Each structure stands twice: as C-alpha cells, then as structure tokens.
Structure 1
Amino acid sequence: MTRSLTPTDRLPILTEAEWSARRDEHHTIVDDLLAGHLARRAAGRTHPVHDFLFTYYSLRPSQLRRWHPGYGTVLLGASAVRAYRDHPGYERVVIDGEPGVRVGREVLERRADTVDFVAELLTATASRPPQLGCFGLHEWAMVYRAGADGVRHSSVPLRLGHTGTDAVVESMQLRCTHYDAFRFFTLDAVARNATAPTREEQMRSEQPGCLHAGMDLYKWCYKLLPLTDSELTVRCLRHAAAARELDMRASPYDLEDYGYSPIRIETAAGRAQYVREQSALTRRAAALREELVNRCTALQAHRTTAPENTGG
C-alpha cells in the first residue's frame, strides 16, 4: 500500500541527493569503525577491548551499516523505493506525484512499549546525581577469588596476579549500581557490593555516573531502530567505545601489548585519574542521553497524532 501525502503535511523530506549523501557518509564511518573487528573475525583472532562492542551488544555489523533517517522523514526518489523495498518497517509514499519511502506508522505502534520504557529509564537516570566512587572495580569483582579458571579474558594476564587482584578488591568498598555488570560478579564479590542491583530495580537504581549506563545508550538507540536515526546510533557507539577503553584501562588486566596504559586504581593517583576521565564521559553521556530522550518524546507525540489518509 502507498500513502499519498502533500507537502502541507509538514514532513521532513530529503531529496535523493540529500539522503544518499548522508547514507554514503554513514557507510564510510561505519566501515572504518568495523574494519578492525571484521578483519580479526575473519582471521579467527580476538581483542579484549573492542570485541565487546560486537559480542555483548547484539547489533550485527550489517545492521549497523544500514542507514536509517528516523521516523517521519521521507526519502524521495525511485532509487529510495528500490533501496528500501526489502527493509522491514518501511512503506511507500507519494508526494506531489514523486515516489518515496519512510518508516511506517505500524512500527511506531508496535514499538510503543519500548519507546516508553527507554524514555522512562533514561529520564530517571538523568534525574539522579552521578556517583563517581566505584573506580571501575566491577572488572576486578568479576575475577575476585576466581583463580586461573575464572578469568574472563584468559589470553591477557592480570597486572597484579590473582593474589594482588584479590587484595585490591578487599581494600575498597564495591559500589556497582549497574545490574548488567553486577550479574557477572563472582559469588564472593557479590557479598562485598554495597547494594544488590536487580533487573526489576533498574528503573530506580540506574545513575548517570556509571560507565555501563552510558555505554548502554548505544543499546537503547539500536533497539529503537529504524525509529531512531543512524547518526545518533553511531555517536552512541563511539561513546561506548571510549567508555569501554576507560573500563579496561582501569581493569586488573595488563593490556600494554594492545597499546593501553593502565589506570592504577589501586593507588590514590590512579583513582583520581579514573574519576577525572569518568567525569568527562559522564558529561558526554548526559548530552547523548538528552538527545535520545528527546527522540523518544517526539515519537510519543507522533503516536497521539492521526495518521495521514491512505491513497492507492
């Protein structure tokens, strides 16, 4: 079915030259971001820092590469119809006799609960003061008293060995607030955490200083695709990559062979450095979080408007 629209509907409209330029730029950026991961995957090699972005997070490289303009934007031209005819969620439209495509309203209706959840979670997270006293100890808690068989990155040595790593955990209070980090703690580490985060309490416990809450902005973006635009998704991925690097530089692993100098959070100077870098990422995440909330708010507003008349 094709919807017949008019310019008076005040829809965002991109000409073929405009949308194809944005799509091509997106492809160039994503190809650069994916190059190392895809080369390693083809060679059967792994990377303890970067692979996380493509293994823990479920968006496939081919899905990341696919460009989406976001809900409401019309892509004009017969080439748009050809390019998106097999993409789920898109519908054909005609404006003043010119064919085009856009994300269909049925996608908005079907994903309404997800939009509402993401908006509520991110708004609640932003409402709380950032907590900056965890010092990235979650990675240490994941190997605490685990022995050689419990190390998550078995190909990378521990900087301080098993005994030294355990001693660091025992010297400080664990303050993890993020369930998806906490659930990987060893049993001995669970009892040392200040709280016991659960999935059910996520809405009440997520806080903006958490590196993982900032990294997950990427997840919330791609879970809303194609309702959200690919440009914001890529910016959230870049942020997740930067947060992951800080995460692993402050971890118990020795990553100097991979080009990462450690942040020695077992020292006062290292903890101060971690907080400085964590604070910078917290500010960056806050701006991205606000943008994503605004996208969700706009999607919620679209749901309250009547759909356009449908033509033949």
Structure 2
Amino acid sequence: MTAALAPATVLDTAEWQARRRDHEERVDAWLTPHLARRRRGEKHPVEDFLFTYYSHRPAQLRRWHPGAGVELLGADRAEFGRDYRATAAGVTLDTDAVRARRAESIRWIRSLLAATAGRQPHFGCFGMHEWAMVYRQTQAEVRHNAWPLRLSPEQTAQAVEASRIRCSHFDAYRFFTAPARPLNLLTPTRETQHALEQPGCLHANMDLYKWAYKLSPLVPGELVADAFALAREIRTLDMRASPYDLAALGYPPVRVETPEGRAEYAVAQRDFAARAAALRDRLLAAVPA
C-alpha cells in the first residue's frame, strides 16, 4: 500500500477558520430567508427552487470543505468527519479513499463536464422549455399555479407552436407536457445526456451546482457556493423568461415571445455560458482524471 501524498497546501488555524466563516456567512444570506419561508409554509418559485429541485440540503451547502490536497493545522478530525484523516499537525482530506469509494460517479461527472465543455454552445432556445412545461394546461394544472400566466392559455400555446424548440437537456425535457414533447426537435434521455448536453443551455449551466456538490468534499466549499450563486442567477432569468407573471415578486418579464425579448434573453444566455465555462473548468481541474 502506497503512502498518501503530503498535502500541497497548508492552512494555519486562522486562515482556514476565516475561510470557513466567510463561506458560512455567504451561504447564510441565501439560507436564512429560505428557511424562514419554510417555517411559515410559504413557497417562492425563484428563490426556493435550488433547495427543492436539487437534493443538497441547506446544512450541507453551509458546511465548508477545503478541497483536496489541503492540510488544516489545528483541526480536529471529529469535526470534519469520516472523509478526513489526521496528520501530525491537523487534518487533511483522505483524497485516495474518497476517490476510490466514488470512482464511478466521479468518472461519469467528469466525462459529462468534459463532453459539454468541448461542444459548441447553442443560443437559440429562448427559454421555451418553461413554456413547453405549461403547454395546453389549465391554470390549475400548471406547476406554479399560485402565480398567473402572462398570456392566455391559447396565446401561450401559440407562442410554443410558433417556436423552433430544440431542448437538449433531459431534466428539462422530462417536465414537458405530453402534447409538447413531439414539438421538440430532440428527444433527450439520460442515456444520451453525454452526447446532447451543450454549454449554452441554462439548465446544464445551472446543474454545475449539482455536479459541484456531488464532487464534494473533493472540491472546496467556495466552488460549490460559486456554482450555487450562478445557478441562482440563471434561475432568475429562467423564470423571468417563463410564461409566469412574477412581477409582483419583483421579477419583470423577459418577453421571449417578442423579438426584443429574445434578443435580451440571448445576451444574458451568452454571459451565463461564459461564466459557466469558467466554473466547469474549475471543477475539472479540482478533480483531475
């Protein structure tokens, strides 16, 4: 059995405790209002989405990890958990053990990230996936039925039918209504995810948060929080461009049913794609093959 490599980075007690404190304070700004709404039984279609759609619990998001190859001086292994091993002066992540235990998952995620990064982005969807999720439904049937649609059901259907829907993201496509699915130019499945996922897709870029937390604790907590912050912004655009009227919540619509709205959406989508590309590269670098 080979000896574990020495950590490449050493943080003294003040350094790592400051990083952990900064991470917790940053995350608390997102968690506190969400948890308060949950106690009151209130739902928010934008701010609560990342906590309900994804499986990462608030307490897990708040928990800081230094990432692989970092030694924390003066730290207690009991405080950091089973994934850490004691050193002469503190603790470090037992990277070899974590990678061995989760090898298949890591390979799958890295393969998806690399395939997506190597593909040309597509910017012509204009957020119509959200419209396809309410296509030919009544107000009572739509997912966020506490909030009205901006257009009538017939006008909403016309907007969908007038669009060239090319959704490549399986987890978005699976929420399409049954009559909307044949209108999509693609039929994404879990099995074709590596072949279809592309870096211009809002949902693929939002999912960087999922891949970041699934790669934890190999990636630092700050990277998980950065991915969450981007996903939160993307969700805001997603719902502003959706058929829902959320103006009362402070979200003016991006009217993708108009040329002006589509142009506005495309500019934002390109910005998100560039920022997501940098995050995707950081994830791949944090967990090398």
- Structure 1 length-normalised TM: 0.89
For 2:256, what is the secondary structure of its paired residue? coil
**Alpha-carbon distance in structure 2 between the residues aligned to 1:140 and 1:154:** 14
Kept in 1: contact 2:7–2:69 (CA 8 A): no
**Alpha-carbon distance in structure 2 between the residues aligned to 1:120 and 1:286:** 15
Q: Deviations over 1:35-84 (max 9, x none)?
A: 2111111111010111110000111011111110012211111x434522
Q: Report the alpha carbon displacement of residue 10 of structure 1 after superposing the two structures with TM.
A: 5.5
For 2:277, what is the secondary structure of its paired residue? helix
Kept in 2: contact 1:116–1:296 (CA 8 A): no
**Alpha-carbon distance in structure 1 between the residues aligned to 2:28 and 2:116:** 32
Tell me if 1:127 matches 2:99: no
- Change beyond 3 A, Cα 1:144–1:10: closer
Q: Report the alpha carbon displacement of residue 132 of structure 1 after superposing the two structures with TM.
A: 0.5
The aligned amino acid for 2:91 is: V
**Alpha-carbon distance in structure 2 between the residues aligned to 1:80 and 1:17:** 14
Q: Report the alpha carbon displacement of residue 276 of structure 1 after superposing the two structures with TM.
A: 0.6
Which of 6, 9, 13 lines up with 2:6 in the alignment?
A: 9
The residue aligned with 2:146 is 155
Tell me if 1:203 matches 2:194: yes
Q: Deviations over 1:106-160 (max 9, x none)?
A: 1121112222111111111011111001000001000101223320101000000
The residue aligned with 1:41 is 38
Aligned-CA RMSD value: 1.6
The aligned amino acid for 1:119 is: R
Percent identity, aligned pairs only, is 51
**Alpha-carbon distance in structure 2 between the residues aligned to 1:67 and 1:120:** 26
Greater Cα shift, 154-163 or 100-109: 100-109
Tell me if 1:93 matches 2:87: yes
Tell me if 1:260 matches 2:251: yes
Kept in 1: contact 2:7–2:70 (CA 8 A): no
The aligned amino acid for 1:83 is: E
Q: Report the alpha carbon displacement of residue 176 of structure 1 after superposing the two structures with TM.
A: 0.5
Kept in 2: contact 1:16–1:80 (CA 8 A): no
In the TM superposition, what are the counterparts of 1:6-85 in structure 2 within 5 Å?
9=6, 11-77=8-74, 79-84=75-80
Tell me if 1:118 matches 2:109: yes
Structure 1 unaligned blocks of 5 or more:
301-312
- Structure 2 length-normalised TM: 0.96
**Alpha-carbon distance in structure 2 between the residues aligned to 1:37 and 1:122:** 29
The aligned amino acid for 2:12 is: T
Which of 185, 189, 192 lines up with 2:183 in the alignment?
A: 192
The residue aligned with 2:92 is 102
Q: Deviations over 1:4-39 (max 9, x none)?
A: 98xx93531111111101001111101112121111
Structure 2 unaligned blocks of 5 or more:
none
Q: Report the alpha carbon displacement of residue 91 of structure 1 after superposing the two structures with TM.
A: 1.6
Q: Which has the larger radius of gyration?
A: 1
For 2:91, what is the secondary structure of its paired residue? strand
**Alpha-carbon distance in structure 1 between the residues aligned to 2:57 and 2:147:** 26
Kept in 2: contact 1:118–1:296 (CA 8 A): no
**Alpha-carbon distance in structure 2 between the residues aligned to 1:181 and 1:225:** 24
Task: Give the aligned length.
Answer: 287
The residue aligned with 2:268 is 277
